[in-house]
Chains A and B, each alone.
Chain A
Amino acid sequence: MADVQTIARHIPDRLESRGARLIKSWETLLVAVALAIFLVNSFASPYFLDPWNLSDATFNFTEKAMIAFAMALVIISGEIDLSVASIIALTSTVMGYAVQLGFDTPALVMIGLATGLLCGAFNGLLVTGLGLPSIVVTIGTMSLFRGLSFLILGDQAFTGYPASFSWFGQGYVWWVFSFEFCLFAALAVIYGVVLHKTNFGRAVYAIGNNQTAALFSGVRVGRVKFVLFLLTGLMAAIASICLTARLGSTRPSIALGWELEVVTMVVLGGVNILGGSGTIPGVVLAALIMGMVTFGFGLLNVPGIVMSIFIGLLLISVIALPILYRRFRGRRSH
């Protein structure tokens, strides 16, 4: 390892093998962290190792992780979508409105998915059609989508979702495995295959590493990015269906601040915030770690806002530590 690092320091171009090695070691690190947290939690609280408790713990991260998969692709392609939490709010509001009009579960799901896709298409059009920077566009739509939700709901709340609808958030497929957890697992596999085994996935990496080069090699950059924003909207809608079904009500402040947690999850999973690298297994591990940490803190009665300090520190330190480590190694070898 030490030799590779020293050699790499003398060669200005990034070597492919070193990149692969680095990513591999990052995921090993995540597995180690996950195991450590699992052990600490099992010792800290006698209630942690109960299968039903662990099953409850999965609700902490499944919805966020679904969005994180699509967000990982967006960030790898060099863009960002900060409007995901607002898409959840607007989707939930539109579904709540449809409930008041008397629609039943299948129609509600279709309406929800359509709303998410529309929001994603709006973001995608602004970014790819008009060529605007995605960070400002999605800061704008973050305000717009949640603003529309406030406009429709005001200080009210929508309730009265049909009983069959609540299955998406509260149902179990088999034993302790909830519908949400199974959906999370299935989506993890789908996104893993799409990113790592298809042409589309290669195109996402290509765009993130060098957009111009990707364009000249025949990648339809605009179309790929548009699809990525569509996917993010769709995933936010799916998360919204699960969350709304789980809570059984809609307020405009639903999922407030989730964009931060989703981005943290993606970055913790080893995705480069500047684009070009990252893996789905990393994001899955990061989701498990964040879920276990918040659940463990919950069992120890730590208030939510203190957990958010921890998440913030986690976000900065997972990026800072490798940089400090590399600098330290570099100094020693000279």
Chain B
Amino acid sequence: MKLLLKNREMLLVVAIIALLALIAMRFPPFVAPGNLANVYNDTSILIILALGQMAVILTRCIDLSMAANLALSGMAAAMLNAAFPGLPVPLIILTAVALGAALGSINGLLVWKLDIPPIVVTLGTLTIYRGLIFLLSGGAWINAHQMSDAFKALPRTSILGFPLLSWLSLVIIAIMVVVMRRTPLGRAFFALGGNPHAAVYTGIDVGRTRFLAYCLSGTLAGLSGYLWVSRYAVAYVDIAAGFELDIIAACVIGGVSIAGGIGSVGGAVLGALFLGVIKNALPVINISPFAQMAISGAVIIIAVAVNARAEKRKGRVILRKAEAAHG
């Protein structure tokens, strides 16, 4: 039991199962396999975004502009589709991804080359990107009938009984696991977050690594932009407004330390799923959907309090080891 509680991912799995059990008592059909697959599908975009955010937070930065980046890339994709219905969908997706990466790289460059604190950079670009959507669209909506069928159908395409959106998020999770655990870049994220000075001495370029983390989060935000717009079949200035908080919440719940250097792909995915289950469960157990914001706020605070205690304990152990080594 102690070992179970110590492991962050196991703790979250237990919490999610307990949550599902509670919901099942009020509304049993919620835990039917088909519905759970739907919940996963509904959470896919949050999972993709949380993985990008995790990379940024690991390097002791933060990306508050992800939701605005998503909205701008999504709007660009939707307008491209509305203006040229004949354009192949993969090309549109590529455009959205490239635009997202470019927006992310702007954040990264400002952090890398100008040394501006990440929170200031992304607070600034958050409003700028949101404002650009208005300039781009003139405040107009792109509605379902303006989008081509192929554009809307892609995330819904069923493969082996599951929608493409779910598969896509699984592929991205797999890629991120490999990147984080098996590549120098992933190691650099952790090393830099754990101790930036030590990272410099091991030959890691701190600024460049942060830049790459922002490019990664931007790329995933751009991809999510297309996914969001085609899934909900509408694009307007305020899509995903405030979603940046959900993304950060998913990371914090998943045990990603806001101080950098601590976190895992599994944790971020489970953190996103935890929020996804709550979001999908509230309407069916007759809790006002207006309560969702308050609940996610409370969950963030509880999660960060739990995280802080876990980190403190770890810190002490390392110190004792160091003292023992010296003595």
Contacts and interface: CB of A to CB of B under 8 A. Distances in A.
A154 B288 contact: yes
B123 A141 contact: no
Nearest to A305: B134
Which size class do A's interface residues fall under?
A: 35 or more
Given A143-B297, A146-B293, A260-B127, A132 B308 contact: yes
B116 interface: yes
A147 B292 contact: yes
A108 B131 CA distance: 37
Interface string A257-298: 000100110010000011000000000000000000000000
Interface stretch (B157-165, B207-215, B299-307): B299-307
Interface in B8-36: none
Contacts, number: 138
Contacts of B252: 136
A137 B115 CA distance: 25
B290 A150 contact: yes
Contacts of B127: 260, 308-309, 311-312, 315
B193 to A, nearest CB: 14
A287 B308 CA distance: 36
A154 B289 CA distance: 9
A312 B107 CA distance: 13
Given A136-B300, A306-B135, A312-B125, A143 B130 contact: no
B110 interface: yes
B131 A309 contact: yes
A118 interface: no
Contact of A305 (B117, B237, B294, B305): B237
Given A132-B305, A133-B308, 5 more contacts: A132-B304, A135-B119, A144-B298, A273-B119, A306-B131
25 contacts: A80-B119, A135-B119, A139-B249, A139-B300, A140-B300, A144-B301, A146-B293, A147-B292, A147-B297, A150-B291, A154-B290, A260-B127, A263-B120, A263-B123, A273-B119, A274-B117, A305-B130, A305-B237, A313-B124, A315-B127, A319-B116, A319-B120, A320-B110, A323-B114, A323-B115
